[in-house]
Amino acid sequence: MNSDPATRTSGGHRLARWLSDRGISHFFDVPGESFLPVLDGLLDARDILVATTRHESSAAFAAEAYAKATGRPAVCMATRGPGASNLSIGVQTAFHDGTPLLALIGLVPRIATGSSAFQEFDPTQLYNSIAKRVFVVTDRAALCGVLDQALDIATAGRPGPVVVGLPSDVLEEDGDDDPPSPGGTPALTRMQWDRHWDPAELFELLSGARRPALLAATAPVRAEAANSLATFATRTGIPVYGAWRRFSAIDNAHPGYVGSIGLGARHSVIESLQDADVILVVGPGLDQITCDVGRLNRSGLTIVQISETVESAAVRHLGKARILGIELDPDEGARELCRFTEAHPEAARALHSRHAGSTAQLVASQRDEALVPAVPGRAQVSYLMQELNKWLPDDAVVTSDAGNFAQWLLRHVQFGGRRVFLGALNGAMGYGLPAAIGASLALPGAPVYCIAGDGGFLMTAGEMETAVRLGLNIAAVVVDNEVYGTIRAKQASTYPGRLLGTGLGPVDFAGLAKSLGWRAARADDDKEVPDALQELVRPASGCRLLHVRVDAEPLSAV
């Protein structure tokens, strides 16, 4: 064994070099004494940006958005106990949304395990239900092997978060520092079993359907699967929809795009999907909201899903519908369908002649909706989102918090061109601003816009300082109605006249933003909104915020 002191490093330094070897370029954290050796090692890792946030939830949200935007695994880290608990909301978001994430947790020293030491907790019990796997490294020599396994699990099949617990003495302990792997990440070859995938059978099923439909549920940054699905829709004339909070999975300017499904979706879009008897889903989009709001749980409906993993939970969400699962990379599946239409143009033309006319009428009926008129003396969420859609750049990256405002965003903001939508499928509030930080780091040069309600924005508003410190260019729109809107709407309908706990107080968001180094403005009237948005989207460096005061009513109850 090589015992030359010059080649021995601490576990923390070895972890930092492992990140470099694996091509991890960003490290999101809130510092903790349990992993100071890692921070010391990162000081020498010039190829890794350490993005320190104001709260652990923000570190996890930013990492999740970074991974969602790039398709590559991201890394976040927090200390034991309270830090790990705060981090868990972002881990649960990655688990629910299928985002590859490595969550590193500093732990008490090994000798203190089980002694109720300061901030001690059991990471397996805390994270077991919201992570693909939880590891605890108990030996310095096993550190890199465990990290490699965790990274593999995070990206295999349906991606998701893997948690790695790291006792502080493991990170402090010196060990022989093995040389880096040649060429960086060691190659990992997975056996691809023949799933007897025959696109002809699927095409025959779609051809025999009375009213087929396509549901796009792939990555928010459109890549091969989205492009292939769009081509397939063009050649066959079949209408295409977007799944819940995967609004940019298909180009919204596609001539066959009807609309997206989810909370706030137009009733006409939902009703149009009720005529479908066969729906092809490309990607992991059979979540509860898509299934329930889209009313996909009805008898007589056949759903075919092409996804890396067809999850058992879909059986419960789909109820009486029949589901056929094809466990296959959506890129490959959509590409094979396109190849089939190339090889059998007459079959594609036959399908196109049957459905293109009705699809065009369906799309036209959605796009012919009347514009929302401005109302003097007040600011409307619907008008704000309609105007926002006009002013947003074609290549805008929109990160959305959870809240009632987002239902108008779905109705009025289109994700055509190169626009990207990043939102937490699990409905986590506080996501919007940290996600904007992650997206800005993931897609440098892209114009990033955070849209949030007053409730969600204030949960992580401290990250305004983080954005300025990192030198980012982010625009934020805060829709302020002084209520927790979605819950207030549900409360009002369930318990009329008995409102409690859903009201909020006034906040000067523009003043708060200015105090943290942002440029900021406020709009209280529809007539002020266009000019304010024009100023917000004007190409400029730095962070800027628009505070829009709207009435507490109306609230969307859908």
Per-position pLDDT tens, the chain of length 558: 345 555 679 999 999 999 999 999 999 999 999 999 999 999 999 899 999 999 999 999 999 999 999 999 999 999 999 999 999 999 999 999 999 999 999 998 988 787 777 877 899 999 999 999 999 999 999 899 899 989 989 998 889 999 999 999 999 999 876 555 444 443 333 323 335 578 898 999 999 999 999 999 998 888 888 999 999 999 999 999 999 999 999 999 999 999 999 888 888 899 989 989 999 999 988 888 888 888 888 889 999 999 888 766 677 778 788 888 888 889 999 999 999 999 999 999 999 999 999 999 989 888 767 688 998 889 999 999 999 999 999 999 999 999 999 989 988 999 998 999 999 988 899 999 999 999 999 999 999 999 999 999 999 999 999 999 999 999 999 999 999 988 898 888 899 999 999 899 999 999 999 999 999 999 999 999 999 999 999 877 799 999 999 988 877 654
Q: How far apart are CA 330 and CA 336, in angstroms?
A: 10
SS3 of residue 460 by DSSP: coil
- CATH number for 381-549: choose from 3.40.50.720, 3.20.20.70, 3.90.850.10, 3.40.50.970: 3.40.50.970
Q: So what's the pLDDT on residue 288? A: 86
Q: Which residues, in sequence order, are CB contacts of 193 under 8 Å at separation 6+? A: none
- CATH number for 199-367: choose from 3.40.50.970, 1.20.120.350, 3.40.50.1220, 3.30.1360.70: 3.40.50.1220
H or E element: which one contains 27? Answer: strand 26-29
pTM over 0.75: yes
DSSP codes of every residue in 198-219: -HHHHHHHHHT-SSEEEEE-S-
Query: What's the token pair of residue 388?
Result: 């926002």
Query: What's the token pair of residue 45?
Result: 């890792």
Alpha helices (H) in 158-208, listed in sequence order: 168-172, 199-207
Classify residue 445 as left (phi > 0), alpha (psi -120 to 50) or beta. Answer: left
CB distance 12 to 172 below 8 Å:
yes
Q: So what's the pLDDT on residue 192? A: 34
Q: Are strands 174-176 and 8-10 parallel, antiparallel or unpaired?
A: antiparallel
SS3 of residue 546 by DSSP: strand
- The two counts, helices (H) then strands (E), for the chain are 22, 20
Q: HEC profile for 357-382?
A: HHHHHHHHHHHCCCCCCCCCCCCCHH
Burial of residue 374 (CB within 10 Å: 0-12, 13-18, 19+) is: middle
Number of Cβ within a 10 Å radius of residue 277: 14
Q: How far apart are CA 547 and CA 514, in angstroms?
A: 12
SS3 of residue 397 by DSSP: strand
Q: Where are the domains of the chain?
A: 5-176, 199-367, 381-549
Q: Where does 5-176 sit in CATH, by number?
A: 3.40.50.970
CB distance 16 to 150 below 8 Å:
no
Burial of residue 249 (CB within 10 Å: 0-12, 13-18, 19+) is: buried
Q: How far apart are CA 403 and CA 384, in angstroms?
A: 15
Of the candidates 108, 105, 109, 40, the one whose C-alpha atom is nearest the C-alpha of residue 76 is 105
